[in-house]
Amino acid sequence: MIKEEDVITLWIDTKRTYLVKVRKGKKVGSDKGALNLDSIIGLEYGVEVTLSTGNKAYILKPTLIDIYNGLRRPSQVLYPKDIAYMIYSSGIKPGDTVIEAGTGSGFLTISLAHYLGDNGKVITYDIRQDMQEIAKKNVEFLGFSNRVIFKLKDVREGFDETNVDAIFLDMPDPWNVVKFAYHALKPSGSIVIFVPTVNQIEKTGIALKNNGFIDIHAEELILREYQIKENAVRPKNIGVMHTGYIIRGRKSLKSSV
């Protein structure tokens, strides 16, 4: 059931989807009409509601795609297609502890916190306080503050933690952080890095090989959406194609035998 302080998705159509926190006395407006949020408290998710103009809308539980589209993000954030694969390939599980650098607007932070659950922890580093303040507000809005630790520090000087399950890097020169990541990770722990250019792949890959990482891969994901119309199903003219490259590896130990 929908409760006060829940974050909900108000879905009117594919172009009008709103991420909203339910509060008494609050209204959500659009060019298709307004909705008094008092009227939805106690209803079931998925319910159809009527806007002030008579148009119909639906109340849905937010997915990470809804969150991606609805959160404030003054800086470019990683795309859902890349984040999903980064999390999947890292091998992390609910309850784990991970490091992220840099925080940016916080969408990777939120995605990690969502996946790791209440018993997990995301330790996120950035050198820009203004960006972290935006990320903090986004994290608080979704109720994930207990899952995230924010640190204002340049990770080129090292991490404060050891024995973490995975490290995620989204920064211009990750090769300068690889040696510190090795010491911060558990044995067999994963490092997953996002970079936008091929030149960065080479520098990062070599740094990983030179610092005790194995099972190194560099990959690119392409996403193509289709329009669904009767007798006219085809790829959409505009889509998310190249966004960047994912580089991943795992920490090895020297032989003890």
Write the Ramachandran bin of 167: left for phi over 0, alpha for psi from -120 to 50, otherwise beta.
beta
Question: Is 108 marked as binding a ligand?
Answer: yes
Question: Is 126 marked as binding a ligand?
Answer: yes
Question: Is 39 marked as binding a ligand?
Answer: no
- Residues 171 and 153: beta-carbon distance below 8 Å: no
Q: Which amino acid is at 219?
A: E
Write the Ramachandran bin of 184: left for phi over 0, alpha for psi from -120 to 50, otherwise beta.
alpha
| Distance in angstroms (rounded) separating the CA atoms of residues 105 and 153 | 16
- Residues 124 and 151: beta-carbon distance below 8 Å: yes
Question: Is 19 marked as binding a ligand?
Answer: no
Report DSSP state, residue 230. T
Question: Is 215 marked as binding a ligand?
Answer: no
| Distance in angstroms (rounded) separating the CA atoms of residues 77 and 254 | 37
Closest listed residue to residue 109, CA positions, set 158, 150, 166, 72: 150
- Residues 98 and 116: beta-carbon distance below 8 Å: yes
Question: Is 66 marked as binding a ligand?
Answer: no
DSSP element (H, E) containing 228: none
Between β-strands 121-126 and 48-50, what pairing exists: parallel, antiparallel or unpaired?
Answer: unpaired
Question: Is 154 marked as binding a ligand?
Answer: yes
| Distance in angstroms (rounded) separating the CA atoms of residues 14 and 32 | 13
Binding-site residue set for S-adenosyl-L-methionine: 105-108, 126, 154, 170
Binding site residue list: 105-108, 126, 154, 170
